[in-house]
Amino acid sequence: MALVICRRLPGSFCGTPPRPALIKHHINKKLPGQTCEDCVLTAKTISTDTRMAATLRLLKSLGYRAFCNPFACSTTQSVAYWNVGSYTWHRGQDTSEHNSLCHPAEKAENICSTSCSRRILTTNSALPGVEFSRAFASKASMLNPGSPRAMKVDEENIEVFDSFEDPRIFLQLRPEYQLHSYNRSEPCHPLSVSEGDLILHKVTVYRDNLQPQIIVDYFCKLSSMPSEQHPVLLSSASFAMLCQLSVKNIQLFDVPDLINILKAFVSLGIPHSHSMLDVYETRFCHKVWEMSLDQLLLVADLWRYLGHRVPRFFKIFFSYLNLHWKDLSLSQLIHLIYIIGENRQVPQDLMQKLESLILKYIDFINLEEAGAICLGFFKSSSGLSEFIMRKIGDLACADMQHLSSYALVNILKMFRFTHVDHVSFMKRFGQIAPQRIPSLGVQGVMHLTLACSALHILDEGVMNAVAASLPPRVAYCRSKDVAKILWSFGTLNYKPPNAEEFYSSLINEIHRKMPEFHRYPEHLLTCLLGLAFSEYFPIELINFALSPGFVRLAQERSKFELTKELYTLDGTVGIECPDYRGNRLSSHLQQEGFEKLWNLARKDMSSKPEFLEALFLLETMLGGPQYIKHHMILPHTRSSDLEVQLDVNMKPLPFNREATSTEDAAKLKLKHVGVSLTDDLMNQLLKGKSGGPFQGEIESETGQQPMEFEKKTAIPSEGSLYNVTDRLEAVEMVGLCPPDCVQAPQVKLAIQLTNKNQYCYGSRDLLGLHNMKRRQLNRIGYRVVELSHWEWLPLLKRTRFEKLAFLHEKVFTSAL
């Protein structure tokens, strides 16, 4: 089937395939009141629709080129200000960005192609978090129907996502939604070009005598003109004059009039940045308390279509809802949650009230509505209770084969956000996802993969399907998609069967998307950390990421604080890439990264009773705090360890300098087990002034007890105290033993008290960061001793003797 790109005519179905997910996954499912022909427009349907055939001929004859009305060029300055046709960019598109991309001389030629591609191309500010390639959309808008390139687009349409229409699928499933939502395809009487010209002529002639109701009627009629005439209409001085008259008479319009004018603005594609819309927002703010819930939802829906942000309107609207939220019907509630999600910001107390309404209606919602609820709460950064998430998961599990992929992704987003582990849902998802992934756009694939990663659920079937489907279409990935997919595979510590093809294709795509990574530096660091978890180290990219210029860019341009990410990458390269001679972080940033991570780790571990008890018992077993040290052996790995050092006889060494004060150490008597202190060793230790020996006897014994200090009543002289103190500060290992006596540690242990969040769900497979840490500890000569949560936590209820026996076996058996 050839792809046809055109604007929807009033009362007809557009030939553009705006909902690939719906087409792909609902081809055999008829929603209430919907036929298969409503989802897929066949070539036969196109040929039998006379109006559509005429439109296609017109587009072909014009070559996607529209002609500006020369009459508009001679307007006065005041009318030019109201000339809507001067704003030709898309909803939500930044004006400065548009001007930098399009030469003024090209704007007139691209008006029609811009309109035709409106439903394919959506810009970042119109829907944050859903970014598309302008280059691809631009190409699609300029394709000639029937050309080989146009035929190729049909193969690529799974990557096309309509950010305005796809989230609104649920609005088709209940007739009640028609009362408070806008439907582009609602039938209306088409207006011919000649009739439109007559109306514009009347505006010019009777402009000072037009009644408010006539102005509303003219807007409604002009909005039903053929869509290819809209650019010409918006550029006309008469239409600009009509807009000016509407603002002048805005106080005389009642609520239905205002809504009808807003509908006309949507149909005509009034630019979101036109100042006239601010005037209408102010008027609607004054009318909020006079409107019904249906009217308020409809107005909010129309503002969404226009892409014009109306924070003042929503502030008053939400105040209204705080008083009337109990009056919301099921359809009003779902639609409101959708609108809140698109608005992104909402008072959390209102969301809590809406959550209580969801509980009321939870047994009556359908699958697509469940997806809409999850998306609205996710986009507004509002959480749902575990009970509601489990109810939604149960609903999806019961009929997941009929759940659209779009709704499935949205539900997974909310499970990711709330960290609810619905085992049955994830098992059913693991059965469905591998078959759907090849026909899912890369953005959807990214969200599925990221959800698995965030929930720590490793399903090899899902991950293999992702890895197999991605290399052929990696060019459609945004920098964000590449970053999140690499991070997910690295976090789950999983390498698919086609690992080399998979990773090489993504690394090559990173190189191709370097301009995009300049805009989003956090994505490059996410890519490199995900690769490092999987033991891939692209040196050229690492050298660039650690360069002073990129580090400065990451600090200045990113909305995230990236010092910790830079520090983790730098520390990893230092250990795992010994031959690396490229850029490294400055000592200042290294110190800053260390302090941030150590403060977080120390606070985290100090708040865990199971860790504090393990530390206390280890100190008791080993002989004191000087034999064990709580610190970050590898600070860049973001977690702390308990370090123990053993000598050649597998006896603990008192290496923790911080555990014993210098003054106390000088007053203590050394009792070293297994090592004889000769006169030569004592002379070295007490080297300094003669005549000031310790008043007491220094003994040496052999036994099985660890080194210990005993206080003596005798006090050393000032000179000998000075010399002992000086010597203690010079030796590397703490304790009153001289260098010739204390050997370097034979074994260095890194004792780690783990928790379930360091492993894949339901398994004993470490996640990527923690697996990387152990790999690096082994490289620098440490043996890892794991006090696993499944062993240690049950022991907390047992006797002290059993705990000490367990720790003794762990420490000294691991050292052998």
Q: What is the mean pLDDT of residues 434-440?
A: 89
Mean residue pLDDT of the chain comes to 74
Sequence-distant (≥ 6) Cβ neighbours of residue 205 within 8 angstroms: none
E strands within 704-757?
708-711, 747-753
In this model, does residue 466 exceed pLDDT 60?
yes
In this model, does residue 699 exceed pLDDT 50?
no
The confidence score (pLDDT) of residue 344 equals 85
Return the closest-CA partner of residue 660 out of 637, 627, 684.
627
Alpha carbon distance 665, 749 (integer Å): 25
pLDDT in tens, 714-753: 333 333 333 333 333 333 333 444 444 555 778 899 999 9
Q: Of 188-192, 387-391, 558-562, 585-589, where does mean pLDDT reach its minimum?
A: 188-192
Q: What is the mean pLDDT of residues 113-117?
A: 33
The confidence score (pLDDT) of residue 807 equals 92
- Strands of the 747-753 sheet, one edge to the other: 629-631, 641-646, 747-753, 782-787
Q: What is the mean pLDDT of residues 541-562?
A: 87
Higher-confidence position of 577 and 239: 577
With beta carbons less than 8 A apart as the criterion, state whether 335 and 171 touch: yes
Higher-confidence position of 632 and 59: 632
Q: Of 85-89, 127-131, 614-618, where does mean pLDDT reach its minimum?
A: 127-131
In this model, does residue 37 exceed pLDDT 60?
no
Sequence-distant (≥ 6) Cβ neighbours of residue 212 within 8 angstroms: 249, 252, 253, 257
Task: Kindly tell me the burial class for residue 574, based on how many C-beta atoms sit within 10 Å of its own C-beta (0-12, 13-18, 19 or more).
Answer: middle
Task: Kindly tell me the burial class for residue 102, based on how many C-beta atoms sit within 10 Å of its own C-beta (0-12, 13-18, 19 or more).
Answer: middle
The confidence score (pLDDT) of residue 203 equals 80
pLDDT in tens, 635-651: 999 888 999 998 888 88
In this model, does residue 118 exceed pLDDT 70?
no
pLDDT in tens, 323-360: 989 999 999 999 999 999 988 888 888 898 999 999 99
In this model, does residue 687 exceed pLDDT 70?
no
pLDDT in tens, 510-536: 999 999 999 999 999 999 999 999 999
The confidence score (pLDDT) of residue 168 equals 81
Q: Of 103-107, 304-308, 491-495, where does mean pLDDT reach its minimum?
A: 103-107
Q: Of 183-192, 222-231, 726-735, where does mean pLDDT reach its minimum?
A: 726-735
Signed CA dihedral, 779, 785, 787, 788: sign only: positive
The confidence score (pLDDT) of residue 157 equals 65
User: How many degrees, rounded to 5, is the angle at CA 19 between CA 373 and CA 164?
Assistant: 55
Confidence of residue 816 (pLDDT cuts 50, 70, 90): low
In this model, does residue 250 exceed pLDDT 70?
yes
Instruction: Please report, as a single letter, which amino acid is at residue 439.
Output: S
E strands within 601-677?
629-631, 641-646, 668-671
Higher-confidence position of 679 and 631: 631
The confidence score (pLDDT) of residue 94 equals 40
* Count of residues in the chain: 816
Phi/psi at 401 (5° precision): -65, -20
The confidence score (pLDDT) of residue 527 equals 95
Q: Is the pTM of this model over 0.85?
A: no
The confidence score (pLDDT) of residue 296 equals 93
The confidence score (pLDDT) of residue 759 equals 92
For the chain, give the percent of residues with pLDDT over 90. 32
Q: Of 242-256, 533-547, 673-687, where does mean pLDDT reach its minimum?
A: 673-687
In this model, does residue 103 exceed pLDDT 60?
no
Confidence of residue 11 (pLDDT cuts 50, 70, 90): very low
The confidence score (pLDDT) of residue 134 equals 32
The confidence score (pLDDT) of residue 73 equals 36
Alpha carbon distance 464, 253 (integer Å): 60
Q: What is the mean pLDDT of residues 103-118?
A: 34
The confidence score (pLDDT) of residue 455 equals 92
Sequence-distant (≥ 6) Cβ neighbours of residue 706 within 8 angstroms: 622, 623, 627, 651, 652, 673
Neighbours of 193 (CB within 10 A): 13
Sequence-distant (≥ 6) Cβ neighbours of residue 419 within 8 angstroms: 454, 455
The confidence score (pLDDT) of residue 490 equals 95
Alpha carbon distance 453, 761 (integer Å): 10
- Angstrom CA distances, 17 to 4, 242, 260, stand at 8, 34, 28
The confidence score (pLDDT) of residue 561 equals 81
- Angstrom CA distances, 615 to 645, 652, 655, 794, stand at 15, 15, 16, 17
Alpha carbon distance 750, 803 (integer Å): 19
The confidence score (pLDDT) of residue 790 equals 92
Alpha carbon distance 358, 364 (integer Å): 10
The confidence score (pLDDT) of residue 779 equals 92
The confidence score (pLDDT) of residue 575 equals 92
Sequence-distant (≥ 6) Cβ neighbours of residue 630 within 8 angstroms: 605, 615, 640, 641, 642, 643
Higher-confidence position of 29 and 451: 451
Alpha carbon distance 184, 267 (integer Å): 7
The confidence score (pLDDT) of residue 507 equals 95
The confidence score (pLDDT) of residue 683 equals 54
pLDDT in tens, 784-807: 999 999 999 999 999 999 999 999
The DSSP bridge pattern shows strands 782-787 and 747-753 to be parallel
Return the closest-CA partner of residue 75 out of 307, 220, 236, 199.
236
pLDDT in tens, 134-165: 332 333 333 333 444 433 444 456 666 666 67
In this model, does residue 769 exceed pLDDT 70?
yes
Q: What is the mean pLDDT of residues 78-101?
A: 40
Alpha carbon distance 57, 47 (integer Å): 11
